[in-house]
Amino acid sequence: MIAKYLLMSFLMLINLSAIGQSPESHYESGMVKLQLGDFQGAITYYSKAIELDRTFVNAYVRLSEAHVALGDYRSAVRDVTSVIELEPANFKAYYNRGCFKTELEDSFGAVHDFGKVIEINPSYLPGYYNRGLALTRLKQYGNAIKDFSIVIELDGRNPMGYYGRGVARVLSGGIYSLESGCLDLSKAGELGDDKAYEVIKQYCK
């Protein structure tokens, strides 16, 4: 009887130990660390969760958040790339990777990722806006203006579309582009984007 009891206790300890080492338990520990601002600790736990389950999508997502909090955008790109490999239709993963590439000044890569966002979810406004910004940085003003115009079509009360299109038009050169760009910037200001007036002061005199 005693031997049977000891065996059951031993098996229970093994089960508890296994639970403590599960991907989910490491993930939850990572969440606690993330909320406490211990980003390196969070990375350690999320990495352990992934070691135990290479298909743990949420662990990759949270791992990217912890890397971004530490300014490590290169690692964050790798994290969300793993998400995309597991979920090719995850437009938010493409969006995040485009944002991370923007921080790394990889504008061509960002344009590609934001394009995938739009391909998967054509009504996702931030995809057009951020692709427009990347195109502006690449001096592809015509395509940038098209993206910002779509932002305005999707939400005419959103100042970002007018601001982005105004900047692209102003930078593209030409008197007609300057006038229309300044009008866009003025509209952005009317809708609450105060930084539009700083651009107006510089270019619309």
Please tell me the least confidently modeled range out of 115-129, 145-159, 167-181.
167-181
10 vs 87: which has the higher pLDDT = 87
Chain segment 83-96, per-residue pLDDT in tens: 999 999 999 999 99
Look up residue 53 and give its two tokens.
């389950």
Give the best-scoring range by mean pLDDT among 7-11, 127-131, 175-179: 127-131
Q: What percent of the chain has pLDDT over 90?
A: 87
The token pair at 180 is 């229309």
Report pLDDT digits (tens) over 184-202.
Answer: 999 999 999 999 999 999 9
pLDDT given for residue 91 in this prediction: 98
Please check the confidence at residue 18 and state whether its pLDDT lies above 60: no
Q: Which of 35, 33, 31, 30 is nearest to 47 (CA)?
A: 30
Q: Which two tokens stand for residue 58?
A: 């949420």
pLDDT at 1: 53
Q: What is residue 175's predicted lDDT score, i.e. its pLDDT? A: 76
CA-CA-CA-CA dihedral for 158, 162, 168, 170, to nearest 10: -150
Would you place residue 2 in the very low, low, confident or very high pLDDT band (cuts 50, 70, 90)?
A: low
